[in-house]
Structures are given as C-alpha cells and as structure tokens.
Amino acid sequence: AVIPEGVELTDGFHLLMESLEMNGITNIYGLLGIPVTEIGRMWQARGNKFFSFRNEQNAGYAASVAGYLTKKPGVCVTVSAPGFLNGLTALANATTNCFPMILISGSSEREIVDLQQGDYEEMDQLNIARPHCKASFRINRTEDIGVAVVRAIRTALSGRPGGVYLDIPARLFSTVMSAEEGAKTLFVPVDPAPEQIPGPSAVARAVDLIKNAKKPLILLGKGAAYAQCDADIKALVEETGIPFTPMSMAKGLISDTHAQCAAAARSMVLQESDVVILIGARLNWLLAHGKGKTWGVAKKFVQIDIQANEMDSNVPIAAPLVGDVASCVNALRAGLKGMTKPTEWMGAIAERVTTTKGKLSSKLSTATPVMNYFNSLGAIRDVLKNYPDITLVNEGANTLDNARMVIDQYLPRKRVDTGTWGVMGIGMGSAVAAAVETGKPVVAICGDSAFGFSAMEYETITRYNLPVVVIIMNNGGIYRGDEANPDHQFSCMLFNPNTKYDQFSIALGGEGVRAETPEQLAKALEAGLKSGKPTIIDAIIDPAAGVESGRIGNLNIVSTIGKK
C-alpha cells in the first residue's frame, strides 16, 4: 500500500527492536555485518546491550546459556549463510539441551535464492534450520514482525524449551510502514510458559510407588535446575528423606554438601535403588539409557518431565508424571506428607559417601613434582569454597570429568558445562553470558583442547572487562600430552608444547599467570577473583596424567585388529 506523504514512518529494524524490548530482551549476543549491522548500532544507541563476538558459534552458545540462566530466550543475531551456519551449531545445541534461544539471521533475497541465481551469501536458511530446532519461521511482511517475535518466544519457552530460528530477508529490515500502524502490531504474550499440572491419577500412582519403596532415589537433571523452583525441590527431598544425586548441571540445585547428597556414592545408588524419581533428567547416554550394569537390581522409574513422549524413551516408566517440575514436585509433596523416611538406606549411603570422600581427599593433597588433575583441582576447590556464587564453566575430557567430581557446587544454576552433546567450545561464550546475566564473577576450567575452540572470545571478555578467570589445564593435548609422534609428523593428539596461555592473555589485554604448583594455582585464582580482571591461568599439568576420553572411555571405539 502507498503511504500518504507526511505520515510518520517506521521500518523492519525498528519494529524488530521495539518488539524485543517490549518482551523484556535487553541483551543481544551476535556478530554483525550485511544485512544486520544497523541492528547492533541502533540497539546500543537505544540503551540496550549488544555483545559482539568474534565467531557466531560462541555468540550462540552465550545466548543459549543466557536462556538457561534466566528462563527467557537468549537472542543471537547473525549475518546470512556462513554466519547463520556458525550460529546454527549453537541453536542445535540449545535445542538438544532444552535451553530457550532465538537465532535471528538476516537472509538473502528470496527470489534469487529460490532460483539459485547466486545471490550474495545465498542459502535456503529457513529449511536448513528446520530440523535443528523447535521451529523455523520467516517474516515476510513488516506488519508480521510483532507476531513473529511473540511466536518465537512462546515456542522457545513453552513445553520443553529449545531453540527457534527467525529468518529475516535483508530487504524487510528497511521496508517502511506507518509508525502508528506498526506500533499496533506489537504485543507481549500472556503466560508464554504455562503451568502444566499433572493429572491426579498420575500423581497417586507415583505416590504409591514411592511410599512403598525400600530404597528410593531422586535424580535431578538440568531441567529441574532450569525450572527455578529450587525451594520446592529441596522441600521434597528434606520432607521425604530420600537421597538425591545430581546430573552435572544440576549440581548445586541442592548443595553438594547436603546430608542427603549421594553424588559420592553414585554407582552404589544407581545400582541398589529400587524406585528412581527422575526430575528433569532424561534416560539418555549420560544415564546409560536406564539399563545395563550401571543400573544393577531391577527398579521402577517415576519420571517428571514436561515432554510427554520422553516417557518410555528407553525403558518402561512405571509412573509417568507429565507436567512442569514445580507442579509435579508440589503434587508429590502433598501426596507424600508424613511418609516414613528411608533412614536405613540413607545411613548406608552416608557411610559410602564418607569413605569415598576420604579417599578422594587424600588424592587431592598429594605433592608431586608436576601438577595432575587431582592436586590442581583440589587447590581450586579450596579457593572456590569461599566463592559459592561464582558460575563455574567447565569443558574438556579429563578436565571436565575430574572437575565435576572434585569441585562442589553450593547454589543452583552455577555450573555450565558441555551438556547433553558433550560439546567442546562452549567455554568462552558461556563465560560471557554467565558474567553478563548474573553480574557475578565466573571461573572457567577448560582443557587446553577445549579452550582452543573459543579462545579468540577471550578478547571479547577483555573488551567488555568481564570478571572471568580462565584456568587452562595445559597438558599439551587432547586427553594426554605424552603421545609419541609418528615418523615425520606431529601426533594428531598433541599441541605445541611451547604454547603459553598466560602470554596469550596478556597479548589480548588481560592478566596472565603461569602456575606450576597447586600453591601457585590457588594464589593466582584468588588474585584473579579479588581483582575482578579477566585473567588466564596457564596451569601446567603432567602430560601423562590424563586418560583417553576421560571417564567415558567405554564409548571410545578402538580397532579390534590393532595397528597394521
């Protein structure tokens, strides 16, 4: 339609920004260029924050972690084709992890893309994104921007949270319409993540099973942490006296030091329990699919999940509780009031926990000429005890598995790691998001391989002067650093042994410290946290200290006939 002269105009850029602002989005993570550059400039000029990354994948990881931490979709903005594809990895990872995120990419002109006439950064982004997220939407008209943003938000947040792709053809950004008419198209969704109350008969079935259990166990997953009903979950645990064990990102949802925490008796409780109550945790590979020797004696599962078809995904679920965690947990609490606590079972677990912790603590204090994973992580743990509200970001193989075991978490949602995919590269993006969204310091403990995937984002950290201490567990390679080099070649598992990550930090405007002993490591960490300045600690780890694939060596495939 022709707009009469003199009418005040708006355009796609402004409608998009106003719609995001109206919906409470203040931070955008992204990387700019044609055709989205103006979004960044104008977003900042309007008093919002734009966190500008060096690679879209890391911006995407940041957005997804912002989504996980805040229960609002994290927003990532990228350019077309290659920028979009870089961001897509993070969108797929967000969807896999059930984190709400919206990836907004500019795209090239439809008529040229669809006829494959070779446009600038030509790609059918809408369809490429579709299988990797919950929904893939394109906005074709300025008057649809408001409804599209709301649809993206509702899709990302409702039911099982996840990623949404929003495709915006370049031309739409500058397409104009009447400002008055445009304003009328924007709105905020009512109740975008509605409660989902479990049915009374489903609750009764679960209550019955739990009351009759001899050795019940509560297993907390990152869906429980995401749900932000920490006090309800703690009350369920304490009122029933049932031991609990957290999946990695649920560590701290109830403190690892709580008397009912069975993490240090993990294999025992998985094997010996008779009724397992899964709260926001899937029976996927991380839980050996609910079967096999990990799970020992026959058992029955109660499963709390918002996604109905998660039930029976791997093994039969005796008591499915489909609903949101808060509603299900509170329904269980009501039904289980006055239940007899499994004191004897809890006592046996507590005994095992004490023994295991004792064994571990002697390993943590060993003095060796070079640091290994235990004495180094032991030193880190002792410092972090005094900083319960830092967010711990953790990636690597040995670095990941050992840090998860050694470092206690005290508060909910204070641990971000490689998640469901076990993906390397979440480090620096997650650190940025955690620092930005919580306003508190972050400690990232990364394997030297893992760090490399997002290393350049350390410049993003120094640029925004974020209080992030990165500890690089430098063993010189993937898993180990002592592999022999084959003839005429550098081993495919090793890195340059002269790499000095502390110097890398200094070069990018941060503080850098080399630590060769646990004492030096502890001192540097303490100083980094006190100063609040971006810091890299190059922690020199015995190249022979790690094991292949960390604690998941059982998943590693080796040749059955050996070298030929």
Closest CA to 290 of 279, 278, 280: 278
C-alpha 176/C-alpha 165 separation (Å) is: 23
Candidates 306, 353, 468, 524: give the one binding ligand ADP (CB under 6 A).
306
Q: Which of 61, 226, 451, 458 binds ligand ADP (CB under 6 A)?
A: 226
Distance CA 533, CA 463 (A): 11
Site string for ligand ADP, 75-104 (x = CB under 6 A): ----------------------xx------
Which region among 29-37, 175-183, 459-467, 543-551 touches ligand OXT (by CB under 6 A)? Answer: 543-551
Number of chain residues interacting with ligand ADP (CB under 6 A): 24
What is the number of the residue whose Cβ is closest to ligand OXT? Answer: 447
CA angle 523, 529, 532 (to 5 degrees): 135
Single out the residue of 16, 25, 247, 471 in contact with ligand ADP (rule: CB under 6 A): 247
With respect to ligand OXT, which residue has the nearer C-beta, 357 or 530? 357
Residues contacting ligand OXT: total by CB under 6 A: 36
One residue of 16, 81, 218, 250 binding ligand ADP per CB under 6 A: 250
Helix (H) / strand (E) containing 395 = strand 391-395
Residue 226's binding partner among ligand OXT, ligand ADP, Mg ion, none (Cβ under 5 to 8 angstroms by kind) is: ligand ADP
Of 243 and 477, nearer to ligand ADP (C-beta) is 243
Looking at 409, 418, 430, 517, which residue binds ligand OXT (CB under 6 A)? 418
Cβ–Cβ under 8 Å, residues 465 and 459: no
- Provide the 3-class DSSP secondary structure of residue 368: coil
Is 449 one of the binding residues for ligand OXT (CB under 6 A)? yes
Output 327 or 460, the one with its CB closest to ligand ADP: 327
| Look-up of token digits 């400039």 | 41
CA-based radius of gyration for the chain: 25
Which residues make up the interface to Mg ion (CB under 5 A)?
447-449, 475
Looking at 63-119, which runs of residues are DSSP E strands? 74-78, 101-107
Exposure string of 25-63, with b = 16+ CB inside 10 Å and e = fewer, is bebbbbbbeebbeebbeebeeeebebbbbbbbbbbbbbb
The residue range among 207-215, 218-226, 350-358, 453-461 that interacts with ligand ADP, by the rule CB under 6 A, is: 218-226
Output the smallest distance, CB 497 to Mg ion, in A: 12
**CB-neighbour burial class of residue 387 (10 A; exposed 0-12, middle 13-18, buried 19+):** middle
Draw the binding track, 323-362, toward ligand ADP (x: CB under 6 A; -: no contact).
-xx-------------------------------------
Contact assessment for residue 325 and residue 307, using Cβ atoms and an 8 Å cutoff: no
Whether a cis peptide bond, with omega within 30° of 0, leads into 35 is yes
Whichever of 27 and 248 has its CB closer to ligand OXT, that residue is 248
Q: Which DSSP helix (H) or strand (E) runs through 458?
A: helix 457-463
- Partner whose binding site includes residue 307, from Mg ion, ligand OXT, ligand ADP, none (CB under 5 to 8 Å by kind): ligand ADP
Q: How far, in Å, CA of 244 to CA of 418, rounded?
A: 22
The set of residues, in sequence order, having a beta carbon less than 8 Å from that of 422 and lying 6+ positions away, is 552
Binding site residues, ligand OXT, CB under 6 A: 248, 263-267, 286, 356-357, 360, 396-401, 404-405, 418, 422-425, 447-450, 473, 475, 478-479, 546, 549-552
Can you give the binding site for ligand ADP, defined by CB under 6 A?
A: 97-98, 160-161, 221-223, 226-227, 247, 249-250, 280-282, 284, 286, 305-307, 310, 324-325, 420
